[in-house]
């Protein structure tokens, strides 16, 4: 599974770890909110729908950040854009700890989301253009597993902080820790090089990189890829957001688990997510991008329905939590490689940033929808219905995209 790591160059390994660290720290910052929703609801007396609105606004901002910063990566370079976005979301995560009221908190979370979306876009293109073709799927799938590492760190931090501090102080301490990712900028600045492909383009054109506007991804030769890729993003992010935003609250309020009990359940799902990313990384280069995403999305629909609809004991839920996390991992672990291989070099950052993050705009409605449905039905029903519908969208969209396994990242769009 990891034999490819010994075959890549020192620069490829450094780039891998820089993107791995950035994605893990992103997850730490983002997943903290889902864990502290009950504390924030209690402090400001907001409804579940309003709490879901925070996630919705953050997702919209991250979508804009992904699109705009993806275009910036095409203009000023992948590495420089990555540095800026990591510093950006770190600062606004820290400032969120000092929000004095709910409106301030929403604004700060939106600004955090802008940097978070931009970081993924810049990092994904940097990875795709640095790692050689035969190992691209494995490397990018493995990087996605960093989300589980950051998620686990958030759960451990939550368990530690909320065991010793009152909720009103605990959630602020957690967000203050979110400043840590800024340290990654120092490593990136010293050790990561701009991919060779853009450098060659600069030399060939006498020092000027081709400038592609934000709307270039809607040109006739790539329009179909943009529309279907965006639809895939809607399903992938919609299902994931419906699950992860509300799952801790579901376990605590409807399953009545303690802080440590909730952490135990999440630990199973997080471990499964990590394993699922690694499994997808192998399958991407073995059976292809389309078959991998199709397999994981079909399995997601089935396991989500079982997890929240079947009457089960807590131990049965714990056992089923592993396949839930495992299959939920395969889709995001596959999207980076697929989207990079759909676009030509000059507009790749813009296209990858848009397709991955457009789904965030539409999927922003899923946490809000779950909160709204939960006011009329059970929270489990709301989560299950929303997530199953989202993953069904993934099944439909992936069937309309071409297979891109082994494709060289050239100047021409995918057929």
102, pLDDT greater than 60: yes
Domain extent for 25: 3-398
Q: Judge contact between 123 and 181, C-beta under 8 A.
A: no
* Residue 107 resides in a domain: yes
200, pLDDT greater than 50: no
107, pLDDT greater than 90: yes
* Residue 410 resides in a domain: no
DSSP class per residue in 278-338 = HHHHHHHHHT-HHHHHHHHHHHHHHHHHHHHHS---HHHHHHHHHHHHHHHHHHHHHHHHH
CA–CA separation, 300 vs 387, rounded Å?
A: 9
* Residue 405 resides in a domain: no
213, pLDDT greater than 70: no
Instruction: Write out pLDDT tens, residues 265-278.
Output: 677 878 888 999 99
387, pLDDT greater than 90: no
* Residue 238 resides in a domain: yes
CA–CA separation, 401 vs 414, rounded Å?
A: 10
Given this model, what pLDDT does residue 414 score? Answer: 55
- Residue 341: alpha-carbon gap to chain centroid: 19
Q: How high is the mean pLDDT of the chain?
A: 81
Tokens of 280: 């997808």
Instruction: Write out pLDDT tens, residues 3-28.
Output: 777 888 888 888 888 888 888 887 88
Instruction: Write out pLDDT tens, residues 47-78.
Output: 877 887 887 788 788 888 888 888 888 888 88
CATH code for position 317: 1.20.1250.20
Residue 111 pLDDT level (bands cut at 50, 70, 90):
very high
376, pLDDT greater than 90: no
* Residue 143 resides in a domain: yes
Given this model, what pLDDT does residue 262 score? Answer: 56
* Residue 413 resides in a domain: no
3-state secondary structure of 344: coil
Instruction: Write out pLDDT tens, residues 216-265.
Output: 788 887 888 889 998 998 888 888 778 777 776 777 777 666 544 556 66
Rg (CA), the chain: 20
CA–CA separation, 64 vs 242, rounded Å?
A: 20
* Residue 409 resides in a domain: no
Could you give phi then psi for residue 73, rounded to 5 degrees? -65, -35
CA–CA separation, 66 vs 359, rounded Å?
A: 11
382, pLDDT greater than 80: yes
Q: Judge contact between 215 and 74, C-beta under 8 A.
A: no
Given this model, what pLDDT does residue 108 score? Answer: 92
| Percentage, residues of the chain above pLDDT 90 | 7
Domain count, the chain: 1
* Residue 412 resides in a domain: no
Given this model, what pLDDT does residue 263 score? Answer: 62
Q: How many CA atoms lie within 13 A of 241 on its CB side?
A: 32
Given this model, what pLDDT does residue 261 score? Answer: 55
Q: Judge contact between 122 and 80, C-beta under 8 A.
A: no
Residue 118 pLDDT level (bands cut at 50, 70, 90):
confident
């Amino acid at each position: 599974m990891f034999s490819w790591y010994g075959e890549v160059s020192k620069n490829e390994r450094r780039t891998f770890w820089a993107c791995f660290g950035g994605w893990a720290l992103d997850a730490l910052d983002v997943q903290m909110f889902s864990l502290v929703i009950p504390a924030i609801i209690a402090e400001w007396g907001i409804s579940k729908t309003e709490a879901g609105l925070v996630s919705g606004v953050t997702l919209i901002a991250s979508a804009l950040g992904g699109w705009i910063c993806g275009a910036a990566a095409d203009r000023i370079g992948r590495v420089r854009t990555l540095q800026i976005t990591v510093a950006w979301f770190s600062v606004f995560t820290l400032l969120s700890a000092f929000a004095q009221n709910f409106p301030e908190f929403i604004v700060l979370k939106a600004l955090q989301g802008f940097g978070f979306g931009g970081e993924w876009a810049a990092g994904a293109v940097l990875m795709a253009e640095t790692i050689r073709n035969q190992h691209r799927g494995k490397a990018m799938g493995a990087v996605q597993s960093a989300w589980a590492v950051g998620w686990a760190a958030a759960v451990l931090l939550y368990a530690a902080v909320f065991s010793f501090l009152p909720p009103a102080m605990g959630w602020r301490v957690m967000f203050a820790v979110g400043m840590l990712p800024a340290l990654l900028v120092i490593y990136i600045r010293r050790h990561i090089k701009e991919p060779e492909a853009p450098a060659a383009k600069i030399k060939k054109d006498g020092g000027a990189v081709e400038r592609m506007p934000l709307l270039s991804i809607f040109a006739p030769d790539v329009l179909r890829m943009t529309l279907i890729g965006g639809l895939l993003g809607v399903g992938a992010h919609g299902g994931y957001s419906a699950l992860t935003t509300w799952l801790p609250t579901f376990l605590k309020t409807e399953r009545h688990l303690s802080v440590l009990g909730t952490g135990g359940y999440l630990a199973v799902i997080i471990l499964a997510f990590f394993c699922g990313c690694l499994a997808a990384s192998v399958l991407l280069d073995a059976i292809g991008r389309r078959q991998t995403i199709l397999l994981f999305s079909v399995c997601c629909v089935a396991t989500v329905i079982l997890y929240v609809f079947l009457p089960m004991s807590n131990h049965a839920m714990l056992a089923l939590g592993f396949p839930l996390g495992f299959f939920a991992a395969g889709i995001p672990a596959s999207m980076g490689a697929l989207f990079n291989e759909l676009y030509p070099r000059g507009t790749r950052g813009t296209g990858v940033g848009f397709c991955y993050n457009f789904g965030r705009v539409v999927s922003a409605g899923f946490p809000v929808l779950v909160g709204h449905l939960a006011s009329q039905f059970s929270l489990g029903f709301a989560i299950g219905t929303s997530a199953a519908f989202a993953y069904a969208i993934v099944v439909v969209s992936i069937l309309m995209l071409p297979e891109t396994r082994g494709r060289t990242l050239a100047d021409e769009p995918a057929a």
